[in-house]
Every structure is written in structure tokens, then in C-alpha cells.
């Protein structure tokens, strides 16, 4: 879809599912192939985005932040990220790996916080000016397992990591629902598989897609 062989790959899944791990492994692999790789995270990736990240994750008033304001802050961060970083990189044929993207809003603010999914989809299209990942890797993990990993990792739980179990169950169901509705874009992986096995499958999927593109 993008010019000169770039690809836009987003990584989705709940806290502790292994997104950052897989992005790091894929980045290493692609760099070794001589590709230019741009890794971005949400919220963040621009000056505005990193400020928004601070607000969403750590600001003193975070606990009283309403769902609507939260959604719009994520959207603002994403809009700037696409305009400043993602679109220019794809135009230059680079590989862009995004730690979360539009699906996170649908799932966390829509399914999780129960705002209108239809509205969120419209907002996503507006913020990204229609930019859709070529491939979305969904790392699917049972809720209990995810919380366990988060605890093992230690540190203080941030605002998004402090919700009740039912919230995370809705998030997981939301992700699986999105993936089922768009199987061409999603690669769903069992996040309990060994890291190397997941990484190998992701590489294979990219290779397959690039081959069919050049066929
Ligand atoms: N396939 C795997 N099997 C077992 N443990 C894993 C696997 N992948 C990652 N982990 C471990 O789980 C923890 C969370 O991984 P990681 O930080 O990559 O998740 P994440 O999805 O980026 O989480 P967050 O949303 O909080 O940023 C880490 O300790 C990591 O080493
Ligand atoms: Mg991470």
C-alpha cells in the first residue's frame, strides 16, 4: 500500500502481553536486514505526545480525568504522531512499528470505558487522516496472566494499570472482536507462546505480505 516498500505495523494487546518485547525483536531483525525502522509509542512519539503521555499516566489529576477527555487526549497525541512521524516515514518507504494505535482507543475507551465505538472510529479516521496499519499484531493474553506479568515487573501501577478485572475482560473481548472483523489486517498470537516463536511468526507474516505485494 505504501510507496517504496514501507510497512506500517501496529502492536496491540493488554498490559504485559509482550508488545515492547516483540517490537524490540522485530526492530533488531529489520535493522539487520538493512531496513530503516521507525519505532513509535502511544501516547507519545512527539513533543506534544510525550506531554500527553505524562498527563494520562502520571498527572495528579489523572484519577479524576473523565473518559471523554481521556479519549480526546489520546486522539490529539495520535493526530500529531501521524502528521509528524508516521506519514513522513511511510512516504519515505520506512518500516514503522507502533506500540499501540487506533485499536487501543476502540478497545480501552470504547469497550473498556464504554464510550461509543462508532464515534471512536470516526475520531480515529479524523485524527489519522485515514491512516490504517498494514498489519496489526494482536498479542492475546488471558487477563490473569497479564496482571501477573505486570506485578512481576514491579514498580507502581499507573492509572491504566489500576482498573478492575471486568475492565480488562472487556478489553480482551474487544480486541478479539476487532480481529475477527478484520482478519486481513490482524495477526492474532497467543502471547503465552515463547518470545522467539512469536517473533518468528511475525517475521514470516511480514515476508508473506511483502512477497504477495511484489508478486
Ligand atoms: N512470550 C512471552 N512469554 C513470557 N513472558 C513474556 C513474553 N513476552 C514478554 N514477556 C515478559 O512479560 C513482561 C511484559 O512484556 P512487555 O513489556 O514486552 O509487555 P508490553 O505489552 O509492552 O506491556 P505494557 O503494555 O505494560 O507496555 C516482561 O517481563 C517480558 O519479559
Ligand atoms: Mg510496553
Instruction: Please provide the average confidence, as pLDDT, over all residues in the chain.
Output: 93
pLDDT tens across 43-88, in order? 999 999 999 999 998 888 877 899 999 999 999 999 999 999 999 9
Q: Would you say the CB of residue 140 lies under 6 angstroms from ligand 1?
A: no
**Position 189 pLDDT exceeds 80:** yes
For residue 143, with 0-12 CB atoms within 10 Å meaning exposed, 13-18 middle and 19 or more buried, which class applies? middle
Residue 39 gets the label, from left (phi > 0), alpha (psi -120 to 50) or beta, of beta
For residue 13, with 0-12 CB atoms within 10 Å meaning exposed, 13-18 middle and 19 or more buried, which class applies? buried
At residue 44, the pLDDT reads 94
Q: Closest by alpha carbon to 169, among 190, 205, 140?
A: 140
Distances (CA, A) of 15 to 86, 119, 129, 158: 23, 24, 27, 11
**Position 20 pLDDT exceeds 90:** yes
**Domain with residues 3-214, CATH architecture:** 3-Layer(aba) Sandwich (3.40)
Query: Which of 13, 20, 157 has the most ligand 1 atoms within 8 A of CB, as the residue to mutate?
Result: 20
Q: Which atom of ligand 1 is nearest to the CA of 24?
A: 18
CA distance 185 to 157: 31
Q: Which atom of ligand 1 is nearest to the CA of 100?
A: 25
Nine-digit cell string for 31: 535493522
CA of 40 to the centre of ligand 1 (A): 17
Q: Which atom of ligand 1 is nearest to the CA of 23?
A: 18
At residue 158, the pLDDT reads 66
Among residues of the chain, what percentage have pLDDT more than 90? 80
CA of 184 to the centre of ligand 1 (A): 25
CA distance 40 to 77: 12
Residue 77 burial (CB count, 10 A): 25
Strand partners, 96: 8, 38
DSSP label at residue 15: T
The whole-angstrom distance between residue 132's C-alpha and the CA centroid of its chain comes to 12
Q: Would you say the CB of residue 198 lies under 6 angstroms from ligand 1?
A: yes
Nine-digit cell string for 79: 493526530
**Position 215 pLDDT exceeds 80:** no
Q: Would you say the CB of residue 195 lies under 6 angstroms from ligand 1?
A: yes
Amino acid at each position: 500500500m505504501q510507496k517504496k516498500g514501507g510497512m506500517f505495523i501496529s502492536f496491540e494487546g493488554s498490559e504485559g502481553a509482550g508488545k515492547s518485547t516483540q517490537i524490540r525483536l522485530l526492530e533488531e531483525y529489520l535493522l539487520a536486514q538493512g531496513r530503516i525502522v521507525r519505532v513509535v509509542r502511544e501516547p507519545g512519539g512527539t513533543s506534544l505526545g510525550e506531554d500527553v503521555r505524562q498527563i494520562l499516566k502520571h498527572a495528579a489529576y489523572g484519577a479524576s480525568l473523565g473518559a471523554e477527555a481521556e479519549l480526546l487526549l489520546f486522539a490529539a497525541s495520535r493526530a500529531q504522531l501521524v502528521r509528524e512521524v508516521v506519514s513522513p516515514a511511510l512516504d519515505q518507504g520506512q518500516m514503522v512499528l507502533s506500540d499501540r494505535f487506533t485499536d487501543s482507543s476502540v478497545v480501552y475507551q470504547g469497550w473498556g470505558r464504554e464510550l461509543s465505538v462508532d464515534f471512536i472510529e470516526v475520531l480515529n479516521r479524523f485524527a489519522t487522516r485515514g491512516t490504517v496499519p498494514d498489519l496489526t499484531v494482536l498479542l492475546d493474553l488471558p487477563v490473569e496472566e497479564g496482571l501477573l506479568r505486570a506485578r512481576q515487573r514491579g514498580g507502581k501501577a499507573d492509572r491504566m494499570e489500576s482498573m478492575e478485572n471486568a475492565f480488562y475482560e472487556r478489553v480482551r473481548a474487544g480486541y478479539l472482536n476487532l480481529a475477527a472483523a478484520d482478519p486481513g489486517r490482524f495477526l492474532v498470537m497467543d502471547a503465552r507462546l515463547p518470545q522467539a516463536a512469536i517473533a518468528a511468526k511475525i517475521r514470516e507474516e511480514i515476508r508473506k505480505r511483502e512477497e504477495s505485494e511484489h508478486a
